[in-house]
Amino acid sequence: MQVLEKAPAKINLSLDVLHKRDDGFHEVEMVMTTVDLADRITLTLLNSDKIIIESESRFVPNDERNLAFRAAKLVKDTYNVKKGVKIFIEKNIPVAAGLAGGSSDAAAVLRGVNRLWNLGVGLDELAVLGSNIGSDVSFCVYGGTALATGRGEHIKILPSPPSCWVVLAKPRIGVSTAVVYKRYRGDQIKHPDTKAMIAALEQEDFQQVCANVGNVLESVTLDLYPEVKQIKEQMKHAGGDAVLMSGSGPTVFALAHQETRAHRIYNSLKGFCEEVYIIRLLGNRS
């Protein structure tokens, strides 16, 4: 028996860090939305009590370090499941890119083994479970558009942005989220207006969505990697309605209402950035 799950990437329309907590985590406020660039996860039932990870990507580990493995193990342990699973990951989302690829794979595995092993667990419970694997996993369990607070595990579903084009560009570097947070200094930075972003989504106002994108981690990564800054400037120059780094980077995205504009941005980057994608917002929950 086999189950297929799509694991879409996310972008941050806004990312704010409120303060560092006593437990060492940062209290965040993030508006995230899924985009139509996805890993594909195939889960095959095993009668032996094993979890096997397979992937053709040389960038992800094929063992217990893989977040997909940790998701399956967590479900097995929590619900005392005696069956096994083989998990094949078709990796399409760039790794260590700020697009939550690993978190989305983990979330897809939570949903997938729930079906494969007939557990009947609700999405809300899977999202709570997922928060033990990583801060973005709870959001990825639902997909769509949401406000994530706490360290990312409290999810409030929001209306999706008006449909538009998204150009993603990832320079040839991976960014460590931990390093970026360590260098982050909240006092010298302009914080995004999360309430205004939520209002823009509720009013389906594309211009106001674009006017309110913001990411407090952006300047940290831009200072570390000038090539990210260069991509950002290029996207703005080519006419992106909004241009922002996603997560802790290094991927930068441009939103474009018009298809011709999206293609202009895409073409302007093709020369000097290897990984460029022109896609749509996924918008609604998949």
Transcribe 107-145 into DSSP letters. HHHHHHHHHHTT----HHHHHHHHTTT-TTHHHHHH-SE
Residue selected from 35, 97, 127, 168 as contacting ligand ATP according to rule CB under 6 A: 97
Main-chain phi, psi angles of 207, to 5 degrees: -60, -40
Q: Is 68 in the site for ligand ATP (CB under 6 A)?
A: yes
Let me know if 63 is a catalytic residue: no
- Angle at 129 (CA atoms; ends 125, 135), nearest 5 degrees: 120
Residue nearest to ligand ATP (CB): 102
Let me know if 182 is a catalytic residue: no
Q: Is 250 in the site for ligand ATP (CB under 6 A)?
A: no
Residue selected from 33, 103, 131, 194 as contacting ligand ATP according to rule CB under 6 A: 103
Q: Name which of 130, 135, 140, 132 is nearest 152 in CA terms.
A: 135
Which residue, 94 or 261, has its beta carbon nearer to ligand ATP? 94
User: 196 in helix, strand or coil?
Assistant: helix
Q: Is 102 in the site for ligand ATP (CB under 6 A)?
A: yes
Query: Per-residue string for binding with ligand ATP, 187-226, x by CB under 6 A?
Result: ----------------------------------------
- From the candidates 16, 39, 105, 136, give the one annotated as an active-site residue: 136
- Angle at 181 (CA atoms; ends 199, 9), nearest 5 degrees: 55
Rounded distance, CA 30 to CA 133, Å? 18
Q: Is 100 in the site for ligand ATP (CB under 6 A)?
A: yes
Q: Is 60 in the site for ligand ATP (CB under 6 A)?
A: yes
Between strands 165-170 and 214-215, the pairing is unpaired
Per the document, the length of the chain is 286
Which residue, 54 or 202, has its beta carbon nearer to ligand ATP? 54
Interface positions with ligand ATP (CB under 6 A): 60-61, 65-68, 89, 95-103, 105, 136, 177, 247-248
Active-site annotation, residues: 10, 136
